[in-house]
Amino acid sequence: MRDAQAGVSGTVTGWPAFGLLPPCEECLLKKIDASAQIGDGGIALIHQLVNKMGFTWHERKTDAGIDGEIELRNPVTGEVANRLILVQSKATDRRFPGENDRSFHFPCKQADVAYWMSADVPVLLVCSHPQTGEAWWMHVQGWFSDPAHRASGRIDFDKRTQRFDSEAAHRLLNLADPHGRAHVTAAEHRDETLTSNLLTVTIPGLLFSTPTPLRHAREVYERQREAGGEVRDDFLLRDGWLYSWLPPQQTALASSVTGATDAIDTAGWAASAEPARQRTLVNLLNNALRQDVTADCDWHRGRKVVYFRATDDLAPRKIRSASGRQRLVFNPKPKKNDPDEISYCQHAALEWQFLQVDGQWLCALTPTYHYTRDGRRDSLYLSELLTGIKQRERNPAVYHLTRMWAVYLHSYDGVLDPRETILGYGDLMTFTANRAINDAAWLADPRSGPDSDLDQDTEDDGPGDELQLFEVEA
């Protein structure tokens, strides 16, 4: 090449020949803009979260609206069943439109929506903030199946219920295979305390048998009422003998017996190989519990439950639980069209069963409800009311009601007026497991959307009027 300033003709290659300054060294470097970096961060975050779910992520190198696929696998066995979910990622380090602590929305192009809706497998839109590690998801076909949503092209996200994290794994399984075989939820390696409904019980060392001319329990009740004293339930008639937990001569049962009283060792009957003795002992334990709660509860012979008695003026009745909170155990419900009249009354009720395990007596508590018209007579809609509340209540509601009955039977100070009991009631048995399962995975309905698990009763919040019956502010 010749020097242009020497006046020699030749090929001109220098920038000054064009009247331009040479570019700086920095301008010659290749760059990746911030948006591409953020987009890669969103994909990397999805990859990380999918791995935590126990699934497999496949990124697409070339895409027209789908960034990758989630291949579902059983986290316990590792088995895969050729079930896929397509994913479109939208990432930003700024706020999404309308974003606050609870929600945001994302506007979608109609061409993208049409492309996603044409897929024959589920498509997720995952919006994320890669810098904070947060992501949220929406099932596109489910959302845009609503014509109003389709017309708007906008997806609304609830940040509480639509987090894209390991807790969403069971929903993705249900989404990809709503009618297929059940999936095993992976158990986590952590300690979890399990509270059972088994209440430890101590029974008296002796029971008493006395000859009687009576043959029916109603005759015993009539004799007690005629005597004018306390009417007791803790007895049993068998083949001309009256069995009781106290010597009958010391109670209102005195008028029902004749002859001498014998003491029986309950431990011997409990260990007896004779089924008749064991049945008699269990029946006496059932009657003992009825007697122990008779100061506050009535017995429903047809349903075989005890339930808290109505107040004389039909005012709500409360007892204090172990946590110190007040719980309603009797609650009259007014008519909607006439608040001065009662529609029905709701009572806390209890079913139970006595068990002997390795020499230890246990009482299995099953809390339930009873409904009356006026505090005494059964409601005409008893079955419907029971069915309705059983369909709505969740595990936390049953747990707190079970604890309430356990506390009441134990007769802790401050729950109700102190009372003497025949049986000694301990605490609910607890067990510690070294594996735990996410409860939401068992409660989710595969036919419902991401917010189907919101209706969970807690000790501080109840989802509706019925479930709040047994828990009110102190």
Q: Which pLDDT tens digit goes with each residue over 137-146? A: 999 998 998 8
Select, from the ranges 18-32, 66-80, 130-144, the one with the highest average predicted confidence (pLDDT): 130-144
- What is the average per-residue pLDDT within 452-463? 34
- What is the average per-residue pLDDT within 176-198? 69
pLDDT band at 322 (very low <50, low <70, confident <90, very high): low
The fold of 34-176 is: Trna Endonuclease; Chain: A, domain 1 (3.40.1350)
Domain ranges, ordered by start, for the chain? 34-176, 188-203+296-418+422-474, 205-292
For residues 431 and 76, the model is more confident at 431
State yes or no: pLDDT of 354 exceeds 80: yes
pLDDT band at 468 (very low <50, low <70, confident <90, very high): very low
State yes or no: pLDDT of 472 exceeds 90: no
Q: What percent of the chain has pLDDT over 70?
A: 80
Neighbours of 439 (CB within 10 A): 14
pLDDT band at 272 (very low <50, low <70, confident <90, very high): confident
**pLDDT for res 67:** 92
Q: Are residues 219 and 211 in contact, defined by beta-carbon separation less than 8 angstroms?
A: no
**pLDDT for res 171:** 85
**pLDDT for res 350:** 96
- The 134-139 sheet, strands edge to edge: 56-59, 68-73, 80-91, 123-129, 134-139
**pLDDT for res 436:** 72
With a CB cutoff of 8 Å and minimum separation 6, the contacts of 393 are 457, 466, 467
Half-sphere exposure of 222 (CA within 13 A, CB side): 6
**pLDDT for res 178:** 59
389-430 tens-digit pLDDT: 888 887 788 888 999 999 899 876 555 566 789 999 999 999
**pLDDT for res 413:** 58
State yes or no: pLDDT of 327 exceeds 80: yes
pLDDT band at 351 (very low <50, low <70, confident <90, very high): very high
27-59 tens-digit pLDDT: 556 666 778 888 899 999 999 999 998 899 999
Half-sphere exposure of 72 (CA within 13 A, CB side): 23
The three-point CA angle 421-423-426 to 5° equals: 105
- Please name every residue paired with 263 in a beta bridge, in sequence order, or none if there are none: 208
Q: What is the pTM of this model?
A: 0.60
